[in-house]
C-alpha cells in the first residue's frame, strides 16, 4: 500500500516541491490548509491536483488532532511557519505561536492519535515526524562551517522560535521514543520562492529593470553571507531523513557561501545589466540583529543519507532570473499568488 504523507505548509515553496517529490515516489499526499479564503489554496488546487487537502491551523490544537485522525499518515512533514525573518520582529508573539508552539501542537496531535503516553512508548508502526529546522538557529555563529554539533545563538524571534521547535522535536524523540527528526536547512531558493526573500526580490527586480518596468532596486545589507541551494534538492533530503534506520538530525546545505553583493552581481550579469547603475542602499531594510555568515558542513547527510546538492549558485540565480523574465513577459504578477512556475 502507498505510504501516506501529511504536509503542513503545502502552500509554500518547500511544500510544493515536497508534494511533487512524494507524489513521484508513489505516496498519497495530503496538505494541511488554513484560512477561510486563503488565495494560495487555489494555487495548490491548480498545480498540485493529486494532493488531497485537509483543513487545519498550527494555532489550533483540535484541528491538528482532527487532521491526523482523518489522514492517518505514515509521515508528517511540518513545514508550516511564519518564515520571513523581519516579520518575526514585527509580530514576535505570533511567530512564537506558529513557528514555535505550532511544533508542540503537531507533535501532541501525533502523540495523542498514536496513543503514546509516558508509560507507553511509540511502537514500530509509528508516525514519522519531520521538523523544518533552520540555519537561522546558528545565528551569530560559533564556528564555520556549521554542523549538527555547532551551538545555537539565534539572532531573531524567528530563530529563537525555531530553536524551541528543534529542541522539542529532540525531546519527544527522547521522551516517547518517537521517530521525530529535524532537518537543519540552510537557505534554499527557487523560481517559487516568496517575493519577500532576498534572492527572489533581486531576480524579480532584475527582470523588472530588464523589461523597463522598474528603474531601481532597493536593498539592505549587501555584506551578509548565506549558503544558498536549490529547494528541489533540499526536499529530497527531508524524505531521506524519514526513511533512515534511526531518527537523527541533519544539516542540509551546499558547503559554499556567497554575499548578498555576489548574489546581486550574478543576477544582474545573468540579464547583461550593470548592477551599480540600479541598486540603491536602504537603511530601513537592515535588521535589528543580523546573521552575518552562514556556511553548512553537510558531510553527515552526504555520508549517511547519500544526499548531495545538484544545482550550483550561479545556475540557481540564472534559473530564477530566466523564470522571472518569462513570468513578467507573460504579464503575470508574481507579487500576487496566482502565478507559480
Ligand atoms: P514559505 O514559503 O514561507 O511557506 C510557509 C508555509 O507556512 C505556508 O504554506 C503558510 O501557509 C504556512 N503557515 C503559515 N502560518 C500557518 C499556520 N498558522 N498554520 C499552518 N500553516 C501555516 O516557507 P518555505 O520557504 O517553504 O519554508 C518551509 C519551512 O522551512 C518553514 O518552516 C521555514 O521556516 C523552514 N525553512 C526554510 C528555509 C528556506 O530557505 N526556504 C530554510 C530553513 C528552514 P499559508 O498559505 O496558510 O500562509
Ligand atoms: O532572503 P532573506 O530574507 O533570508 P534569511 O533571513 O536568511 O532567512 C531565510 O533563510 C533561513 C535559513 O537560514 C530560513 F530559516 C528563513 O525562513 C528564510 O527562508 O535574507 C537573506 C539576507 C539577510 O542577511 C538580509 O539582511 O539578505 C539580506 N538582505 C539584504 N537586503 C535582504 C535585503 N533580505 C531581504 N529579505 N530583503 C532585502 O531587501
Say yes or no: 265 and 280 in one domain. yes
- The answer to whether residue 224 scores a pLDDT higher than 90 is yes
Cell match 532597493: residue? 218
pLDDT at 253: 98
The CATH number for 261's domain is: 3.90.25.10
Per DSSP, 293 falls in state B
In this structure, the residue with its CA closest to atom 21 of ligand 1 is 80
Q: What are 76's strand-pairing partners?
A: 6, 129
Please check whether residue 101 lies inside any domain of the structure: yes
Which ligand is closest in space to the CA of residue 63? 1
Say yes or no: 133 and 198 in one domain. no
Decide whether any atom of ligand 1 lies within 6 Å of the 94 Cβ: no
User: How many domains are contained in the chain?
Assistant: 2
Task: Report, as an integer, the average pLDDT of 4-30.
Answer: 98
Decide whether any atom of ligand 1 lies within 6 Å of the 232 Cβ: no
Say yes or no: 40 and 164 in one domain. yes
Q: How far is ligand 1, taken at its centre, from the CA of residue 126, in Å? A: 25
Active-site residues, by number, are 134, 136, 158
Q: Which numbered atom of ligand 2 lies nearest the CA of 260?
A: 27
Q: Which numbered atom of ligand 1 lies nearest the CA of 98?
A: 18
What is the CB neighbour count within 10 angstroms for residue 118? 7
Q: Which is nearest to 129 in space by CA: 99, 173, 96, 159?
A: 173
Please check whether residue 239 lies inside any domain of the structure: yes
Q: Which is nearest to 9 in space by CA: 137, 103, 90, 85?
A: 103
Probe ligand 1: pick from 62, 80, 163, 294, max atoms within 8 Å of CB? 80
Specify burial of residue 91 (Cβ count, 10 A radius: 0-12, 13-18, 19+). Answer: middle
Q: Which grid coordinates are listed for 107?
A: 507533535
Left (φ > 0), alpha (ψ -120 to 50) or beta: where does 331 sit? left
- The answer to whether residue 338 scores a pLDDT higher than 60 is no
Please check whether residue 87 lies inside any domain of the structure: yes
Decide whether any atom of ligand 1 lies within 6 Å of the 9 Cβ: yes
CB 64 within 8 A of CB 85: no
% of the chain residues with pLDDT over 90 = 92
SS3 state of residue 134 = strand
Q: Residue 93: enclosing H or E segment and its boundaries?
A: helix 92-95
Please check whether residue 300 lies inside any domain of the structure: no
Please check whether residue 163 lies inside any domain of the structure: yes
The CATH number for 100's domain is: 3.40.50.720
pLDDT at 120: 80
Say yes or no: 100 and 207 in one domain. no
Say yes or no: 131 and 213 in one domain. no
Least confident range of 40-44, 255-259, 318-322: 40-44
Give the domain extent around 24.
4-188+229-252
Decide whether any atom of ligand 1 lies within 6 Å of the 252 Cβ: no
Q: Which strands, in side-by-side order, build the sheet including 75-78? A: 52-55, 28-33, 4-8, 75-78, 128-134, 180-185, 250-252
- The answer to whether residue 143 scores a pLDDT higher than 90 is yes
Say yes or no: 117 and 211 in one domain. no
Instruction: Please count the helices (runs of H) and the strands (runs of E) in the chain.
Output: 12, 13
pLDDT digits (tens, 9 = 90+) for 172-211: 999 999 999 999 999 999 999 999 999 999 999 999 999 9
Say how far apart CA 78 and CA 64 lie, in whole Å: 11
Decide whether any atom of ligand 2 lies within 6 Å of the 146 Cβ: no
pLDDT at 121: 83
pLDDT at 339: 63
Decide whether any atom of ligand 1 lies within 6 Å of the 185 Cβ: yes
In this structure, the residue with its CA closest to atom 23 of ligand 2 is 224
Which ligand is closest in space to the CA of residue 193? 1
Q: How far is CA 54 from the centre of its chain?
A: 20
| Residue 133 backbone dihedrals phi, psi, to 5 degrees | -80, 170
- Provide DSSP, 187-233: PEE-TTS-TTSHHHHHHHHHHHHHTTS-S-EEES-SS-EE--EEHHH
pLDDT at 122: 82
Decide whether any atom of ligand 2 lies within 6 Å of the 190 Cβ: no
Please check whether residue 284 lies inside any domain of the structure: yes
- The answer to whether residue 31 scores a pLDDT higher than 90 is yes
Say yes or no: 143 and 218 in one domain. no
pLDDT digits (tens, 9 = 90+) for 67-112: 999 999 999 999 999 999 999 999 999 999 999 999 999 999 999 9
Say yes or no: 113 and 209 in one domain. no
CB 157 within 8 A of CB 92: yes
Say yes or no: 13 and 117 in one domain. yes
Would the CA dihedral through 278, 282, 287, 290 be positive or negative? positive
- The pTM assigned to this predicted structure is 0.98
Please give the biggest Cα pair distance in the chain: 66
Say yes or no: 235 and 103 in one domain. yes
Say yes or no: 160 and 248 in one domain. yes
- The answer to whether residue 134 scores a pLDDT higher than 80 is yes
What is the CB neighbour count within 10 angstroms for residue 285? 13
Q: Residue 337 — pLDDT band, cuts 50, 70, 90?
A: low
Q: Residue 315: enclosing H or E segment and its boundaries?
A: helix 313-329
Please check whether residue 124 lies inside any domain of the structure: yes
Say yes or no: 119 and 96 in one domain. yes
- The answer to whether residue 336 scores a pLDDT higher than 80 is no
Say how far apart CA 145 and CA 136 lie, in whole Å: 14
Please check whether residue 339 lies inside any domain of the structure: no
Q: Which is nearest to 72 in space by CA: 1, 21, 12?
A: 1
Average pLDDT, the chain: 96
- Provide DSSP, 9-73: STTSHHHHHHHHHHHHTT-EEEEEE-SSS-HHHHHHHHH-TT-EEEE--TT-HHHHHHHHHHH--
HSE of 262 in the Cβ direction (CA atoms, 13 Å)? 13
pLDDT at 129: 98
In this structure, the residue with its CA closest to atom 38 of ligand 1 is 187
Amino acid at each position: 500500500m502507498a505510504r501516506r504523507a501529511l504536509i503542513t505548509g503545502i502552500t509554500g515553496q518547500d511544500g510544493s516541491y515536497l508534494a511533487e517529490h512524494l507524489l513521484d515516489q508513489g505516496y498519497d499526499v495530503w496538505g494541511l490548509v488554513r484560512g477561510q479564503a486563503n488565495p494560495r489554496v487555489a494555487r495548490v488546487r491548480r498545480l498540485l491536483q493529486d494532493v488531497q487537502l485537509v483543513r487545519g491551523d498550527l494555532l489550533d490544537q483540535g484541528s491538528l488532532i482532527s487532521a491526523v485522525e482523518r489522514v492517518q499518515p505514515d509521515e508528517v512533514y511540518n513545514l508550516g511557519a511564519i518564515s520571513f525573518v523581519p516579520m518575526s520582529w514585527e509580530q514576535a508573539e505570533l511567530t512564537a505561536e506558529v513557528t514555535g508552539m505550532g511544533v508542540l501542537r503537531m507533535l501532541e496531535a501525533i502523540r495523542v492519535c498514536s496513543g503514546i503516553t509516558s508509560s507507553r512508548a511509540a511502537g514500530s508502526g509509528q508516525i514519522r515526524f519531520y521538523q523544518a529546522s533552520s540555519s537561522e538557529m546558528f545565528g551569530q555563529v560559533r564556528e564555520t562551517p556549521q554542523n549538527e554539533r555547532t551551538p545555537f545563538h539565534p539572532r531573531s524571534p524567528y530563530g529563537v522560535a525555531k530553536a524551541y521547535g528543534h529542541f522539542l522535536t529532540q525531546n519527544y524523540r527522547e521522551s516517547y521514543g518517537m521517530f521525530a527528526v529535524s532537518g537543519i536547512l540552510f537557505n534554499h531558493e527557487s523560481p517559487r520562492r516568496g517575493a519577500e526573500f532576498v534572492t527572489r526580490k533581486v531576480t524579480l527586480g532584475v527582470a523588472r529593470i530588464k523589461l523597463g518596468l522598474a528603474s531601481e532596486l532597493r536593498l539592505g545589507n549587501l555584506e551578509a553571507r548565506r549558503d544558498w541551494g536549490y529547494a528541489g534538492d533540499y526536499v529530497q533530503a527531508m524524505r531521506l531523513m524519514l526513511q533512515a534506520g534511526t531518527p537523527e538530525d541533519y544539516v542540509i546545505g551546499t558547503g559554499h557561501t556567497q554575499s548578498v553583493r555576489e548574489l546581486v552581481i550574478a543576477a544582474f550579469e545573468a540579464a547583461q545589466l550593470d548592477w551599480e547603475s540600479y541598486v540603491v542602499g536602504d537603511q530601513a531594510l537592515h535588521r535589528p540583529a543580523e546573521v552575518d555568515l552562514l556556511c553548512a558542513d553537510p558531510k553527515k547527510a552526504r555520508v549517511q543519507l547519500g544526499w548531495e546538492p545538484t544545482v550550483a549558485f550561479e545556475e540557481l540565480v540564472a534559473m530564477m532570473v530566466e523564470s522571472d523574465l518569462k513570468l513578467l513577459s507573460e504579464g503575470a504578477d508574481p507579487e500576487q499568488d496566482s502565478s507559480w512556475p
